[in-house]
Amino acid sequence: MSYTFDIVGLASVVTFFDYQQKVESNPHRSKAYFGTQFCTLDAFIESANLIPQKPDWNWEEVVQSMIHFWLRQEDKIRYWQEELNQANDDNLLVGRVANVPALRHELESLLNSE
């Protein structure tokens, strides 16, 4: 699988929206972030569909990486469900999908530029 998914934290709606507007306009980026008010697989899949400028990826594989995470990371999911339940209503749960080959290339470019 060329993609990996993880839940990375909580962010206010304003912070998350601002981040998406500034950073996520590059269609060749190595990562994409999703925000949702619910800690469910369906909510993350729906939030992936709502990305304003999607990277040029295989989105069926992206969804498969989310499903794979959901089937294997029950402890993390429960932890983030509890954190979201305790957070203010203006917070979103943030997930990240990384395109592994693009991320590897990005990191190699950084190392080679030094």
**14-52, pLDDT tens digit by residue?**
999 888 877 777 777 889 999 999 999 999 999 998 887
Element (H, E) at 3: strand 3-12
pLDDT given for residue 114 in this prediction: 62
Residue 94, SS3?
A: strand
The Cα–Cα gap between 103 and 55 comes to 13
- What range does the domain containing 77 cover? 3-112
The Cα–Cα gap between 88 and 76 comes to 20
With bands split at pLDDT 50, 70 and 90, how would you rate the model's confidence at 53?
confident
Look at the chain and report how many structural domains it folds into.
Answer: 1
The secondary structure of residue 50, as a DSSP letter, is T
Q: What is the pLDDT of residues 65-107, one digit of tens each?
A: 999 999 999 999 999 999 999 998 999 999 999 999 988 888 8
Q: pTM (2 decimals)?
A: 0.87
Helix runs in 1-114, H state only? 13-23, 41-49, 59-72, 74-86, 100-112
Q: Is the pLDDT reported for residue 1 higher than 70? A: no
pLDDT given for residue 15 in this prediction: 93
